[in-house]
Amino acid sequence: MEVRRSARRRRTVSAYREGDRTVVLIPARMSEAEEKRWVNVMLDKLAAQESKRVLGDAELAERAERLSEQCFEGRARPTSVRWVTNQNTRWGSCTPSEGSIRLSHRLQGMPEYVVDYVLVHELAHLLVPGHGPRFWRLLEAYPRTERARGYLEGVVAADRLPHLPAAREE
Ligand SMILES: [Zn+2]
C-alpha cells in the first residue's frame, strides 16, 4: 500500500490497484489522522467493488439467524429480513411488533462486516428499542461495531464532499 500526497489535489481522494500495490491519492495538506481514516475508507471501497456479489433475501435471512446465534444466543428472531430500495436516509430499520427487518439496498456492495453490523443493529432492536446504554451494551457482542460505524460515517462524509470520485482506475 502506498499513499501519495499531491499538492494539486484539494479535496479529492482516490485509490486504485497498481499490480500488487494499492495506491491511495490524497491532498497534500491532509492531516495524519485524516489520512489514516481515508486510507481505511478507500481500501474498504476497493474491496467492496471487487466483491460485488449481492446476497439474496434468503441468504440475508440466514445470515441474520447466524448473527443472532453468535451475538444474542439466538434470542432475536426476525420473521422477515429483506432488502428495500425506498430507504435512502437509513441503513436499516425494523418493526419489532412484526419482527421484520429491512436493509437499504445502498449497503449492497459494501464490505460484509458492514452489512453484518447493520443486521446485528436491527436484530438488537428486536430486543431493545431505542439507542440507550442497554442497546449499545448489546452491540458490544459484535466485535466490529466501531469499525463498521466508522465506515458508514466515512461513506456519508464522502457523499457530502464535492467532486469526490469513487475509487477508480486512473
Ligand atoms: Zn438503531
Q: Which CATH superfamily is domain 57-160 in?
A: Metalloproteases ("zincins"), catalytic domain (3.30.2010.10)
Flag whether the pTM goes above 0.85. Answer: no
Q: How far is the CA of 101 from the centre of ligand 1 (A)?
A: 11
How much is the pLDDT for 169? 37
Domain ranges in the chain are 2-52, 57-160
- Which residue stretches of the chain have pLDDT < 70? 51-53, 161-170
How much is the pLDDT for 170? 34
Any residues with CB less than 8 A from the CB of 6 and at least 6 apart, and which? 25, 26, 27, 28
Of 116, 117, 114, 78, nearest to 98 by C-alpha is 78
Q: How far is the CA of 120 from the centre of ligand 1 (A)?
A: 10
